Amino acid sequence: PYDGMRIAAGPVANTPFMTKTVGDDVLKRQDVLVEVNPKTAGALGLGEGQAARLSTPRGQARVRIHLSEGIMPGLVAMPRGLGHTAYDDYLAGKGVNVNTLIGPVEDPASGLDAAWGIQAKLAKA
């Protein structure tokens, strides 16, 4: 997951104005866009704006693809702070709550949580 300047990623939701300023490369109508390297997307047969299914051991979600050279091949980046189920029409139901899809990554040497992330699969929707 990544944090953006226009999305509140904590327990507090965005204001309606902040949500309106989120770019179409992050949120398009109700759909969240995940960043994928063009090489990775090409290998999966996915293109810009195309609907896809993101699956992890913790759940799955419908997403759209945003091609970005800024992400390493083989990885998927998803914004934090979306997917609220409460609040009003400006906030509820927009995007996906990334926390429902990820979990802690354990450091094999210490057994402690090293980071947040998870293995994920992308497929055509």
CATH code for the domain of 30: 2.40.40.20
Q: How many domains does the chain have?
A: 1
pTM for the model: 0.77
The pLDDT score that the predictor gives to residue 28 is 83
Residue 7 placed within a domain: no
Residue 43 placed within a domain: yes
Residue 10 placed within a domain: no
Please, what's the b/e burial string for 77-112 (b: 16 or more CB within 10 A of its CB; e: otherwise)? bbbbbbbbeeeeeebeebbbbbeebbeeeeeeeeee
Helix (H) or strand (E) holding 45: none
Residue 2 placed within a domain: no
Residue 54 placed within a domain: yes
The pLDDT score that the predictor gives to residue 5 is 62
Q: Is 18 helix (H, G, I), strand (E, B) or coil?
A: helix
Confidence of residue 91 (pLDDT cuts 50, 70, 90): confident
Residue 76 placed within a domain: yes
CB 32 within 8 A of CB 95: yes
pLDDT in tens, 27-67: 788 888 899 999 999 999 999 999 999 999 889 999 999 99
Name the residue range of residue 83's domain. Answer: 16-124
CB 83 within 8 A of CB 91: no
